[in-house]
Amino acid sequence: MTKIKSVVKRNGAVVPFTPDRITNAIYRAAVAVGGRDKQTAQELSGKVVDLLEANTPKGQIPNIEQIQDTVEKVLIENGHAKVAKAYILYRNERIHQREKRAYSETLPSVNIPWSKLWHVLDWSVEHEVHTVKNLNEHIRSGKLPQIVTAAEAAYHEDVENAASLVLERRDEVRMVFIAGPSSSGKTTTTIKLGEFLAREGLKLVTLNVDNYFFDLEMHPKDEFGDYDFETPQALDLKLINEQLSRLFAGEEVLTPFYDFKTGHRHNNKTPMKLAPNEVILIDSLHGLFPDMTIDIPQSMKFKLYIEPLLQLKDNDGHYVRWTDIRLIRRMLRDAAHRAYDPTKTLLHWHYVRASELRNIIPYMNTTDYIVNSGMPYELPMYKAKLFDEFARWTKEYAGDTLREDAYERANRVYTLMQSLEAVPDDSIVPENSVIREFIGGGIYEY
């Protein structure tokens, strides 16, 4: 039993000291450099705790910075320089994100080409849905169905443009990546892209990278003890590269199968071989992560990125954040398709977002095309479905030092929803809409 009972966070709040979080942080850093030895992580964590106890005067409470400094010291002194470097880089990245967070998330991402953002904004202004005030006026005047039709047509055109670019390179492209952060609309976009390509004789064959997860006990955890499926290092990247190389060489491979019920991967399960007109499809959060396909020539890849690039200003003149749109979408999808409590989605979102910022967003400017999946009509509809929940979360997590992120997001969305007219009838959403991916009732199987 450790003598240290509490720790001081950066904002001055005092919270319980949990040694497992040190173990998880060390193991995450080890995974980032190819290591998967949990026993060593636990032993090093014990040394960190021992050193903290020896160096913390009686009656004092260590702070986060002291703990992190001690972790770095123990890693380096025990011969784990690579792990220490990964830990330091991650720590510095978190500091950088905190410094920029208040500013950067109020602006469109600098990684999205301004020409794309300008096109989306121009469309929004032309259709008078660029502000909450204008959007509310359309709802009150009964003109929302016209907005739905126009927005769906714009999305459909975006996907068709992407398909045209693939077809222009059909003689060299052997892989299509559908990448993007959580709940951006990758699955629907993949289906629609496949429909366009099939008409021209190209067939997308899915390589389900979820089957390449390491066994559950080898996954790192987050600070709350949840298993980390969001990091690309949770996947066997070496095996993915090896089997892709063999497929493109004309060989047959036996792909693995991952059983999510047991948390174990079964190798050499499903035979796979490519026909001349078949193109590998990878629909993954981490499709843009370089190491996933580092052995495959760039000329063979077509990378498509999906994001709800909604250009909508609230009543204070701030753009609605895309991450908030995706959070709501994931809540609805998890509830509709996975019987998952939206509260759990909210509490897990900080973790999802951290992984996006680290492993997805930095690579979005390497894509061949970007599809906008944002619909101006979706937020008023979401208000009718989740407004009461956001009101409850805002009250429940106010002042909770361990749930600051959840409170901040919930309060921001609640404030936005207060200013929106609610649209209770989701029959306005076409059956083939990308929005059906999240609320259910569509023609596609997810």
Instruction: Please count the helices (runs of H) and the strands (runs of E) in the chain.
Output: 14, 9
Q: Which long-range contacts (CB under 8 A, 24 or more apart) does 124-127 make?
A: 124/310, 124/311, 124/312, 124/376, 127/151, 127/376
Domain-wise residue ranges, the chain: 6-104, 114-439
Task: Answer whether 36's CB lies under 8 Å from 234's CB.
Answer: no
Q: Which of 3.40.605.10, 1.10.3210.10, 3.40.309.10, 3.40.50.300 is the CATH number of 114-439?
A: 3.40.50.300
Q: How far is CA 50 from the centre of its chain?
A: 36
Of 234, 212, 228, 219, the residue nearest 41 (C-alpha): 219
Contact 326, 144 (CB under 8 A): no
pLDDT in single tens digits along all 446 residues of the chain:
678 888 887 767 777 888 888 887 888 788 777 788 888 888 888 888 888 888 888 878 888 888 888 888 888 888 887 887 777 776 665 555 544 444 444 444 457 888 899 999 999 999 999 999 999 999 999 999 999 999 999 999 999 999 999 999 999 999 999 999 999 999 999 999 999 999 999 999 999 998 999 988 877 666 566 666 777 888 999 999 999 999 999 999 999 999 988 989 999 999 999 999 999 999 887 888 888 999 999 999 999 999 999 999 999 999 999 999 999 999 999 888 777 899 999 998 987 888 788 778 888 888 999 999 999 999 999 999 999 999 999 999 999 988 999 999 999 999 999 999 999 999 999 999 999 999 999 998 87
Gap between the Cα atoms of 317 and 335, Å rounded: 32
Phi, psi (rounded to 5 degrees) for 185: 105, 30
Give CA–CA dist 187/281, Å, rounded: 11
Burial of 138 (0-12, 13-18, 19+ CB in 10 A): buried
How many other C-beta atoms are found inside a 10 Å radius of the C-beta of residue 115?
8
